[in-house]
Chains A and B, each alone.
Chain A
Amino acid sequence: MTDITVGIDIGSTATKAVLVNDGQITAQVVIPSGWDPKQAGRDAYDALLQQSKLGETDVKAVVATGYGRISLPFADRRVTEVTCHGRGAEYMVPGSRLVVDIGGQDSKVIALDGRGNVTDFLMNDKCAAGTGRFLQVMAGVLDLTLDELGELALVSEPAVISSMCTVFAESEVIGLLARGTAKGAIAAGVVESIAKRLPTLVGRMPHTEAITFTGGLAGNSAICQRIEHSLGRQLQVPKLPQMAGAIGAALIGSDL
């Protein structure tokens, strides 16, 4: 019997799903989570099966993760994104000892034992500061897409944005715009303010030479550069940084 499992990571912004067949990723889907996490999970699963030309009965196990994991009735198991990200990071960057993940509504630092098992973790989950949501709000004020914001940030000197709070930082950005500060400088300042928050979290964890960087923002090279600079350590960005949680979930499914 083939070992086909599915991992579905229902995040606050995006729902990610992967199909793993005998340890290989054979299909993947990313859709917006929208307002109905249950439906998003269902849609992602259906799209994945369609892509793979498979039926539900071909799947050995479905593992759900992400904040929407509890709302997926057809999941065989629900596992937190901390555990799944650890497993997914190990799959994509074998031997990872420290994972930084910036998600839509929290950022996590996860210490691993070198085999994908979590030994310790820390989360910034009290507010939107330093998360993907923060960046999204700021991009909205600047009327840019996230990619455009990254590109602009790459070629500009950062303006100082001191507020950690998303609401206050938004007012600060509006103030900077009113004073005629260049968009690029603000974009760079926004990225810098996320990067500057990370050493506090990372510094509480055991020291490692390299850090595996996951989450949707890891696909943005401006953000990666700023974070690398701020942490003073090499970042290893996996091929599918946004899929780490879903991959981990699917791999956990094959252990069931």
Chain B
Amino acid sequence: MQSAIYEQLETLRENNVIALKNAKEAGQNIVGIYCLYAPAELIVAAGASPVVLCGTSQKPIPTAEQSLPRNLCPLIKSSYGFAVTDTCPFFHFADFIVAETTCDGKKKMFELMEEIKPMHLMQLPQIQDKESALAYWVKELEQLKTRLEKTFDVEITEQKLIDAIELLNDERRSLKELQDVCRHKPAPISGMKMLTVLHNRGFALDKRATIQLVDQLTAELTERIEQGISTLATDAPRILLTGVPVGLGSEKVVRIIEEAGGQVVCFESCGAYKKVEPVQQSDDTLRGIAESYLDIPCSCMSPNQGRYQLVSRLAKEFQADGVIDLTWQACHTYNIESFSLRKHVQQQTGLPFLQIETDYSESDSEQLKLRLEAFLELLAGR
């Protein structure tokens, strides 16, 4: 696929490192975020730039293991490793970090990270349908708002919040439309390229420019569909990838699936289809934001019925041939949830289901190849 727009998105991360340095020197405030639960609307409304922090590479993990246990999720180790080795420019330039108590591993790691960088820890409830959980989460948002106002000496007005909601809803719309092009059979873009765009856009400072770029790519891909052009095999088994967050550096499973002739057409994961719904207009703006974020179907929630429903719905809508559930090693919540998700998916869709448990290293690539190839053979034989 030759595309000048894609090439721009492919180099977005590198180019933004320089943009970040320049912006910082020009006085721009930067807030680093790790997780989908970080309410970016508040950060934008405070006039600061929310940037996604590094945590998808194996590289800093050996250093992280000098402080953290080896038997810990690679995403947590990588995030901490980048911080402690000061090799993530986005972490380096951030004024402070917004962190959440999503899982046990993360919250204890954040206690260590706090010694390196100022941090605002949000206490995330673990249930979604209780009024008390929402009230609690609204309070957490209020505290973040106060922290932002104090740190950056600004007032987050109602209008600023409304504008921020509008901007970030537009970003969600644009990312959803991009991912929706893969509903078409055959998909006009590979899963690896889709992941590259989804990953890189999180590092962009200029949200409006990035939305425009993504929209241009979507338009280009839609045109290809209309013209019947596809560089991808029409009979490739279509995979819905669900589970833990994936990004560049931790794309091993996506790469192996596609090298073996499969195609990842949908990512039910953070930074992809896990949150594409807009924040609803509400008389109580902060509560509206809180509600929208609390709905995220992450495995740290209990129960987490929303994820089961989302996965089976997406499997149908994206015409998936099989579902692969990716679990990072020692991620208890996704690992345990896989058992119930398998049952749900098989009952609701009848689709074959494969769970893969791995880390960022290449040490099990050969074994993974065997499993993923066998799974694709199983799909091809149906």
Contacts and interface: CB of A to CB of B under 8 A. Distances in A.
A64 to B, nearest CB: 13
A120 B374 contact: no
A82 B367 contact: no
B14 interface: no
A118 B370 CA distance: 14
B366 interface: yes
Contacts of A106: 367
Nearest to B358: A126
A81 B373 CA distance: 10
A213 interface: no
Given A119-B352, A126-B364, A83 B370 contact: no
Contacts of B370: 67, 80-82, 123, 125
B371 A125 contact: yes
Contacts of B352: 119-120
Interface in B350-382: 352-353, 364, 366-367, 370-371, 373-374, 377-378, 381-382
Contacts of A119: 352, 378
Nearest to A105: B367
How many residues of A sit at the interface, in one of the four size bands? 10 to 19
Nearest to A121: B374
B268 to A, nearest CB: 21
Given A120-B352, A123-B371, A125-B371, A79 B366 contact: no
Interface string A129-167: 000000000000000000000000000000000000000
A121 B352 CA distance: 10
A230 interface: no
Contact of B381 (A67, A117, A120, A121): A117
B231 to A, nearest CB: 24
Given A117-B381, A120-B352, A80 B366 contact: no
Contacts of B371: 82, 123, 125
Interface in A23-72: 67
A83 B381 contact: yes
Given A83-B374, A120-B352, A67 B366 contact: yes
A83 B377 contact: yes
B367 A118 contact: no
Contacts of B374: 80-83, 118, 121
Contact of A125 (B353, B367, B373): B367
Interface in A78-136: 79-83, 106, 117-121, 123, 125-126
B370, B374, B381: which has the most chain A beta carbons within 10 Å?
B374
Contacts of B364: 125-126
Contacts of A125: 364, 367, 370-371
A86 to B, nearest CB: 9
Contact of B378 (A67, A83, A123, A126): A83
Contacts of A126: 364, 367
Contacts of A81: 370, 374
Nearest to A78: B373
Interface string A217-235: 0000000000000000000
A83 B375 CA distance: 9
A253 B151 CA distance: 69
Nearest to B382: A117
A34 B367 CA distance: 20
A111 B371 CA distance: 14
A121 B374 CA distance: 9
A117 B381 CA distance: 7
A126 B353 CA distance: 20
B148 to A, nearest CB: 45
B367 A80 contact: no
B35 to A, nearest CB: 28
A250 to B, nearest CB: 16
Contacts of A67: 366, 370
A82 B370 CA distance: 8
A102 to B, nearest CB: 16
A126 to B, nearest CB: 7
Contacts of A80: 370, 373-374, 377
Contacts of B367: 106, 123, 125-126
Contacts of B382: 117
Nearest to B363: A126
Contacts of A121: 374, 378
B377 A79 contact: yes
Contacts of B377: 79-80, 82-83, 118
9 contacts: A67-B370, A80-B373, A82-B377, A118-B378, A120-B352, A120-B353, A120-B378, A123-B371, A125-B367
- Top 8 nearest A-B pairs (CB, nearest first) are A82-B374, A80-B374, A125-B367, A83-B377, A118-B378, A80-B373, A117-B381, A80-B370
Interface of A: 67, 79-83, 106, 117-121, 123, 125-126
Given A81-B370, A123-B371, A125-B364, 18 more contacts: A67-B366, A67-B370, A79-B377, A80-B370, A80-B373, A82-B370, A82-B374, A83-B378, A83-B381, A106-B367, A118-B374, A118-B377, A120-B353, A120-B378, A123-B367, A125-B367, A125-B370, A126-B364
